[in-house]
Amino acid sequence: MSHGIDLRPVPYDHPDAVKLNDQVQLEYQERYDGEGDVTFLDPAMFARPAGLYLLAYDAAGAPVASGGWRSQEQNDEGYSDGDAELKRMYVIPEARGLGLARRILAALEDDARAAGRVRMVLETGDQQPEAIALYLSAGYSPSAKFGHYRFHDSSRCMAKPLVRDVRDVSR
């Protein structure tokens, strides 16, 4: 499926991360009438243990997908204590359909869970049906809106508990 794909933690401001971020911003602009995601992101937000930024590299060493999580606590933007917020999930068009987003998502969930986060949250938009379908199939549910776009009609917020039910562990 995703043969030869290597997931690597990198700083959010790594040149390959910047390259993919520029590409995802162009896609947002195409899908949302010229507007990219203007949420403020600082590289320090993705530094361990409070976050993680991953890039997927193909066998030739080219970056083909990205994703990260950052810690959030209760604040006036609608987050809750213990939240991990998913950011910049992106797969280049040529690498879509290989399961890369699902692989990155699982790695980010595992890392956030290991860091003590209790819920993964994300904000996407109504012009990203592929993203919505991925998150629903990965166990996310619609949630109360939060973040920079919480007052936008096109915003779709989702959440998934990261704490495993202790009763399930014994089975």
Over 70: is that where the pLDDT of 120 sits?
yes
Question: Are the beta carbons of 105 and 69 closer than 8 angstroms?
Answer: no
Over 80: is that where the pLDDT of 90 sits?
yes
Over 90: is that where the pLDDT of 34 sits?
no
- Residue owning tokens 């930024």: 53
The tokens of 21 are what?
């971020």
Over 60: is that where the pLDDT of 169 sits?
no
Beta bridge partners of 156: 124
Over 70: is that where the pLDDT of 127 sits?
yes
Higher pLDDT, residue 72 or 35: 72
What is the C-alpha to C-alpha distance for residues 7 and 130, in angstroms, rounded to an integer?
Answer: 22
| Average pLDDT rounded to a whole number, residues 42-67 | 97
The CATH superfamily of 6-163 is: Gcn5-related N-acetyltransferase (GNAT) (3.40.630.30)
Over 50: is that where the pLDDT of 104 sits?
yes
Starting at the edge strand found earlier in the chain, the sheet holding 6-9 runs 6-9, 51-57, 63-72, 83-91, 119-125, 155-161, 141-142
| Average pLDDT rounded to a whole number, residues 93-117 | 97
- Residue owning tokens 């991360």: 17
- Cα first-last separation, the chain: 30
30 phi and psi, to 5 degrees? -65, -45
Over 70: is that where the pLDDT of 66 sits?
yes
Confidence (pLDDT) at 168: 52
- The structure's pTM equals 0.93
| Average pLDDT rounded to a whole number, residues 116-126 | 97
Over 70: is that where the pLDDT of 170 sits?
no
Over 50: is that where the pLDDT of 171 sits?
no
Domain boundaries, the chain: 6-163
| Average pLDDT rounded to a whole number, residues 124-142 | 97
Average pLDDT of the chain to the nearest whole number = 93
| Average pLDDT rounded to a whole number, residues 89-97 | 97
| Average pLDDT rounded to a whole number, residues 123-136 | 96
**Binning pLDDT at 50, 70 and 90, where does residue 112 land?**
very high
Confidence (pLDDT) at 91: 98
